[in-house]
Amino acid sequence: MSITYLEAIREAQFEALRENPNVFLYGQDISTFGGAFKATKNLSREFPGRVFDAPISEDAMIGMAIGAAIEGARPIVEMQFADFSSVGFNQIVNQAATLFWRTNTTCPITIRLPSGGTPGSGPFHSQSMESIYAHYPGLVILSPATVEDAYWMLLESVKLDDPVIFCEHKFLYYHLKAEGFGEPMPIGKARIARPGRDATIVTYSAMLHESLRAAEELRIDGYEVEVVDLRSVKPMDTDTILASVARTGRLLAVGESFPWGGVTAEVIARVSSEAFHLLDAPPMRLNSKDTPIPYHPNLWKSHRPTTANISSALRQLLRY
Amino acid sequence: MPVTETSPIIATAPQSELRDDYLKTLRCMILSRTLEEKLGSLYRAGGRIVGGVYLGRGQEAFSAAAGIHLRWGKDIYGPLIRDQAGRIAYGEPVLDTMRTYLGAVTGPMRGRDGNIHRGQPQKGYMAMISHLGSLLSVVAGALFARRLQGRLGDTAGATSIGDGGTSTGAFHEGLNMAAVEKLPLVVSVANNQFAYSTPTSRQYACENLVDRAVGYGVAGHSVDGTDLLACMQVFRTAFENARAGQGPQMVVGRLLRLGGHGEHDDASYVPDIKKHEHEGRDCLIVAQRQVIELGWATATEIEDWHKNARREVDKAQAQASKEPTPDPYRENWHALSTPELVEGMNE
Ligand SMILES: Cc1ncc(C[n+]2csc(CCOP(=O)(O)OP(=O)(O)O)c2C)c(N)n1
Ligand SMILES: [Mg+2]
């Protein structure tokens, strides 16, 4: 049975709804229509009265989910695109993220962000928001790169008593397929996606696949590049990163989001401050360019990291 | 939806039926005023209260008349900055207010948050964040969940906003959503004519805020916020309608903030003339006169209520002052409830 990343997300929601009557889905066009990407296809029919169309009110959608969670519900909120979560930003970072710490009341909400670029999507349907949300205490930020993680981590998100920002990548929706869901791995642990000894790439989400291809290219030159898939941006599994850098002595952090600050900067900062002595070369990072995300595919392909520029960054790192 | 104008002359419920609730509410107003006067003087004395003090002076009637219709532990309440009286009427102990203002760890916020930012969400008593407008959708969500779980019953929810807060996108989104879901929600809009220093002429261009109710598809009620009897009547109707499944009810009270935005503010921007207008009446003085005129209480009884209130407030202050403030070395510094996911836990 071949299953896509998108189907995994649908299946996880099916399973979450089946397992717990307190789970409900809330989002724009997600009920009978099945969502802009069909991530909730048929769920309103399979679970009548549990899948609700929301008004175009991201602030109220998240606020509503928080109130429902306080009363014991476990809402999954779909943002139509990650980009629109900026309108619900206040509820996420100030209401949801502070609730447990302030009041000892848990806030089990899952917010699904269809993230990242696809050709022709332009500045407002392509963003990666994980770094923004990771900055705030009180949130768990997940960024599955595989079909297996898309399924298991979403299911696990709904069971967590803390607010989860679930950054699912739109580019992987249809492109990525697997035979079944495999075995779950715990949230908060990174995974060695490809072992190696010459350099470490730390990455996540769609950039995992670009990085794996780059590692494969370098194999032809005789290099063994280790690729670490963070899986969870926050908490970040520093131990696995440090252990990898201890083996390789070289680090490249790759992310699709904008270059100022963010996840890749955090990776570099942690390794530099905690394991400077392990490094044989200055750590490098690769992100998108510091402009809005372009519409035209010609521009878009050069805006984000790709196999080609990850490979050339790796060569530079290995030459040092 | 009809927009009903309620005035004290056209009573929607016979006055006699309101007697017991009215008396309870008036006592809450007295307790609230006494407590807030204490908080104000503690603030001015300096030292004990860290951070700001935000009072509801002049808004007690409007706030408490809503709060008295809510059942502690059953209904959902999301009060705001000027709702000390409503909180008391709902059932929050005065001690919790003191503990929060004094930063005692025994209080509901344990020193992690303070003053008006307090509540016990597990009990349906939401703890406001500062961002105005953002609580409405949270209260609505709590009601939504209860309905989903089949335990809504006759639950009602209530929350408040000021004239300024109605300009936020969050307020608009929240009320619209609550209306779409037809939730049993009462939204109090305390039009006290100022948002910090900004007069309503710089806040909105509509004639009257209650006119917006029609646009949202919710029932609108308008009331003289300085008149306790009128407030009792209008909120009784609003809560009855909400509980009966008629969807959100928006109650706009006309009044004046009788003080600064916070105790740090002398409100010199409020023109003197405003204080002499009808809205500038002190609702507590009005109610104390009203209750005697109605023959429901005597001046001696009112004096006793004040004495009891002072005793209760002093007792709460004495107790909260003795209690420990937070110790940074005993704080676990966990923002997440799942310990395994707290960063740095393995180190
Ligand atoms: C979204 C937001 N912006 C600004 C503030 C700062 N602020 C706190 S209270 C206040 C005035 C509120 O006025 P109003 O809503 O009329 O309530 P009132 O203080 O008169 O009771 C402002 C501007 C805030 N708390 N939230
Ligand atoms: Mg105001």
Contact residues for B289 (Cβ-Cβ < 8 A; gap 6+): none
Identify whether B328 is part of a domain: no
Query: How distant is the alpha carbon of residue A317 from its chain centre?
Result: 26
Angle at B130 between CA B33 and CA B259, to 5 degrees: 35
In this structure, how many other beta carbons lie within 10 angstroms of the beta carbon of residue A120?
Answer: 12
Identify whether B330 is part of a domain: no
What is the C-alpha radius of gyration for chain A, rounded to an integer number of angstroms? 19
Ramachandran bin of B143, using left for φ above 0, alpha for ψ from -120 to 50, beta for the remaining angles:
alpha
Is B224 strand, coil or helix? Answer: strand
Spell out which residues of chain B touch residue A22, defining contact as CB-CB under 8 Å: 149
Identify whether B196 is part of a domain: yes
Which pLDDT score is estimated for B15? Answer: 84
d(CA A306, CA A128): 16
Identify whether B170 is part of a domain: yes
CA distances from A133 to A116, A130, A255, B145, B227 (A): 15, 5, 15, 26, 46
Domain extent at residue B189: 4-323
Of A55, A59, A68, the CB nearest to B145: A68
Longest distance between any two alpha carbons in chain B, whole Å:
70
Identify whether B190 is part of a domain: yes
User: At B209, which amino acid appears?
Assistant: L
In A85-206, where do the E strands start and end? 110-115, 140-142, 164-169, 177-179, 191-194, 199-203
Place of tokens 């409007």: B62
CATH number at residue B206: 3.40.50.970
Query: How distant is the alpha carbon of residue B154 from its chain centre?
Result: 21
Which pLDDT score is estimated for B8? Answer: 41
- Residue whose CB lies within 8 A of the most ligand 1 atoms, among B132, B137, B263, for a mutation test: B132
- The residue of chain A with its CA nearest to that of B138 is A67
Q: Is the dihedral of CA B340, B344, B345, B347 positive or negative?
A: positive
Identify whether B269 is part of a domain: yes
Q: Indicate whether residue B162 lines ligand 1 (CB < 6 A).
A: yes
Which pLDDT score is estimated for A48? Answer: 98
CA proximity to B13, closest of B77, B69, B84, B59 = B69
Cα-based torsion angle of the residue sequence B67, B71, B74, B79 in order, rounded to the nearest 10 degrees: 10
State the average pLDDT over residues B250-267: 96
Cα-based torsion angle of the residue sequence B39, B42, B46, B51 in order, rounded to the nearest 10 degrees: -20
Q: Indicate whether residue B131 lines ligand 1 (CB < 6 A).
A: yes
DSSP A184: -
Q: Indicate whether residue B227 lines ligand 1 (CB < 6 A).
A: no
Of A60, A162, A239, the CB nearest to B137: A60
The answer to which of A107-121, B11-25, B103-117, B326-340 has the lowest mean pLDDT is: B11-25
pLDDT digits (tens, 9 = 90+) for B230-249: 999 999 999 999 999 999 99
Q: Would residue A125 show up in a list of annotated catalytic residues for this protein?
A: yes
Identify whether B345 is part of a domain: no
Q: Indicate whether residue B197 lines ligand 1 (CB < 6 A).
A: no
The structural domains of chain A, ordered by start, are 3-178 (3.40.50.970), 191-319 (3.40.50.920)
In this structure, how many other beta carbons lie within 10 angstroms of the beta carbon of residue B135?
Answer: 28
Backbone angles phi, psi at A254, to 5 degrees: -125, 130
B142 touches chain A (CB under 8 A): yes
How many domains does chain B fold into?
1
Is the pLDDT reported for residue B167 higher than 50? yes
pLDDT band for position B2 (cuts 50, 70, 90):
very low
d(CA A260, CA A290): 8
State the average pLDDT over residues B68-80: 98
Which pLDDT score is estimated for B345? Answer: 58
Backbone angles phi, psi at A27, to 5 degrees: 180, 170
Tell me whether residues A103 and B139 touch, CB distance under 8 A: no
Q: Along the 320 residues of chain A, how does pLDDT read in single tens digits?
A: 799 999 999 999 999 999 999 999 999 999 999 999 999 999 999 999 999 999 999 999 999 999 999 999 999 999 999 999 999 999 999 999 999 999 999 999 999 999 999 999 999 999 999 999 999 999 999 999 999 999 999 999 999 999 999 999 999 999 899 999 999 999 999 999 999 999 999 999 999 999 999 999 999 999 999 999 999 999 999 999 999 999 999 999 999 999 999 999 999 999 999 999 999 999 999 999 999 999 999 999 999 999 999 999 999 999 99
Identify whether B343 is part of a domain: no
Spell out which residues of chain B touch residue A103, defining contact as CB-CB under 8 Å: 108-109, 119-122, 127
d(CA B19, CA B25): 10
Is B247 strand, coil or helix? Answer: coil
d(CA B54, CA B39): 9
The mean of the pLDDT values for chain B is 95
Of A22, A73, A140, the CB nearest to B336: A140
